[in-house]
Copies of this chain bind each other. A is one copy, B any other.
Amino acid sequence: MATIYDVAQRAQVSPATVSRVLNGRSSVDPDMATRVQEAVRELDYRPNSVARNLRRSRTTLWAVIISDVGNPFFTAMVRGVEDVGQRAGYSVVLCNSDEDPAKEAQYVTAALQDQMAGVIISSSGDPANVRRLIEAGTPVVAIDRQVSGANIDSVLVDNEHGAHMATEHLIEGGYHRIACITGPRKVSTAAQRLRGYQQALKAHGFGAPARLVRYSDYREEGGYAAMASLLDAGDPPDAVFAANNLMTVGALECLVDRGITVPAGIGVIGFDEIPWAHLVRPSLSTVSQPTYELGRTAAMLLAERITEPDRPPSTVTLQTTLKVRESSLRS
């Protein structure tokens, strides 16, 4: 691999001049510039980014810390980040935390050691990891989930409103014992979606008995178990609102196994889409999030923060939309 010295020698100039031509920071004699350009082409020279990174003490890497790319929700998000990052000259490093703060901490450490240019994080709930990044001066954007006690750029959706819509929709469909399967207590979206559910019940004069609420883990197995637990308790629900896509699938599987028909036996609505939800029978009603747009927006915020570190942090809240399909329509 050719170095800047090889180019300099061939173009009969100093390495500094080559650097100047390539980075355009200061003007150089057009003659020399063309000589340098030619030498670069002839040698197929590409600057060594590791050396450049060391000198500039920042890289062109972004860490994207999420719980699991396997979840289509995060997949689309990551794709949105990557598309924007790529255009802006950044590479995306994928970090699956599996909701484990310890694993998340490892990735944060790596981001710091590797001097990554920025981090986009869907926090597993422990604000300490984000705090470390802030203290080190690494630009951070929170995506999907808020980070408590940290005043940082955030891209969220109107979770409470979405959950409210979903619950209200079930109420209006004539369901009256509506259960909620929500996520881990430490995760902000789980709390917000639960609150939206509770407020919708209250607004319609229903009680919100704790017996109809299950805290679970945002996973398929958790959704299955929570559904089973709801069914096994006395006075089972006639509808269920599940706070994310995987738990919705888990709940559905439980209902299939028990031979309970949807929506006649139990109405089901989920938060966030599953791929090809329209092909599933009964087709699945959901609160749909603009996941790709979520990723794009976070990436744009991160890029801006890197170029303009002192800008006050902003929070962008994107809208959810209710997608009514068959699983929540009783008649």
Would A110 and B91 count as touching, CB distance under 8 A? yes
* Interchain CB contact under 8 A, B78 and A69: yes
**Contact present for A75 and B82 (CB under 8 Å):** no
Chain B minimum-CB-distance residue to A274: B276
Q: Which residues of B contact A279 (CB under 8 A)?
A: 249, 252-253, 280-281
Contact residues of A: prevailing secondary structure: mixed
Interface contact A49-B1, CB-CB below 8 Å = no
What is the bound-complex CA distance between A187 and B46, given in angstroms?
Answer: 29
Contacts beyond the supplied A50-B59, A69-B75, A91-B93: 19 A-B pairs with Cβ under 8 Å = A48-B54, A48-B115, A49-B114, A61-B93, A69-B78, A69-B79, A69-B82, A70-B79, A78-B94, A83-B96, A86-B96, A91-B114, A94-B94, A249-B279, A252-B279, A253-B279, A274-B275, A279-B280, A279-B281
**Distance, CA A57 to CA B50, complexed state (A):** 8
Please state if B112 and A46 are interface contacts (CB–CB under 8 Å): yes
Within 8 A of B (CB), among A238-254: 249, 252-253
Give the number of residues in A that approach B within 8 Å (Cβ atoms): 45
The answer, among B50, B83, B109, B112, for a CB contact under 8 Å with A54, is B50
A115 closest partner in B (C-beta) = B50
Mask, A67-91, CB within 8 Å of B = 1, is 0111010011011001100100001
A92 at the binding interface (Cβ < 8 Å): yes
A46, B109: Cβ atoms under 8 Å? yes
26 contacts between A and B (CB under 8 A): A1-B112, A1-B136, A46-B112, A47-B113, A49-B113, A49-B114, A49-B115, A50-B59, A50-B114, A51-B54, A54-B54, A61-B93, A68-B79, A72-B72, A75-B75, A78-B94, A91-B95, A91-B114, A93-B94, A94-B94, A249-B279, A253-B279, A275-B275, A279-B280, A280-B280, A280-B281
A317 contacts chain B at the CB level, 8 A cutoff: no
State the Cβ distance, A221 to closest chain B Cβ, in Å.
14
Min CB distance, A207 to chain B, in Å? 33
Residues of B within 8 A of A51 (CB): 54
Within 8 A of B (CB), among A104-132: 109-110, 112-115
CA distance A94 to B109 in the complex (A): 19
Residue A148, interface by CB 8 Å: no
Q: What is the CA–CA distance of A167 and B92 in the complex, to the nearest angstrom?
A: 40
A53 at the interface (CB under 8 A from B): yes
